[in-house]
Structure 1
Amino acid sequence: MEDNSPISFDTKVAVVLRDDLAGWQRLNVTAFLVSGLGTLEPEVIGEPYADADDVDYLPMFRQPVLVFQGGKEVLATAHARALKRGVAMSVFTADLFGTGNDRDNRAAVRAVGTAQLDLVGLAVYGPRNAVDRIVKGASMHP
């Protein structure tokens, strides 16, 4: 018998975006930020999908991705909290809008010290209560 009870998670995936980004930047940054989570944290990925005609589709995250926004200070605080708690994190800096490939993206981040990163977004994955504390002060993205 199949279990149809609601699924709850003790983990959370959250993205925090700087509130002054253009719409296309918000979408692009979010996609980049969450792209690495499944490779580092395989349990965040669910089972593959298939439709009624047996066409297969790629698996996706097994849980919702919550998207927040805030000013530069909110991102800096969230970044510091995530580092302190040691949760899985990805970052997107303003410099990455001027690069065109993965190698240059990594070099742009590598060239700047942690405290000087011009963060425009970050994604975190970890225990629900830790992620809640990390994103405290950010508001839900409209």
Structure 2
Amino acid sequence: MTDIKSIKLIEIPKISDPRGNLAVIEKDCIPYAIKRVYYLYDVPSDAFRGGHSHKEQLEFLIALSGSFEVVLDDGKTKQRITLNKPNKGLLIPTGIWRELDDFSSGAVCLVLASGEFDEGDYIRDYKIFKSSKS
């Protein structure tokens, strides 16, 4: 069973020189092949995104610009993580409820997913999520 300890904050390799930084995601940076890429932007500061869990899909979240909070819940324990650096990503395994909130002005959240969109992979009802954990 997946728990909060399975969540990983991963440093993305970067190359720095006087012209700026270049972050690179390839090979073993994340433990799966990327099947879908999407991003959230222009999210109002009082809005939230997410509000679901995945049965099979893994996701890697990166704050490309600005910052936002990720509330993670394994059914027993909750944890809040701030993402605000484009060279750090949050690996969210299956079976973890997530909500994203407190978006700063100009925040961009990039998501690298292990699967293509499949509505059947989502658990969108928190009560059903909680009952699946017992």
Instruction: Report the TM-score when normalising by structure 2.
Output: 0.29
Structure showing the higher helix proportion among its residues: 1
Q: Which has the larger radius of gyration?
A: 1
Structure showing the higher strand proportion among its residues: 2
Instruction: Report the TM-score when normalising by structure 1.
Output: 0.28
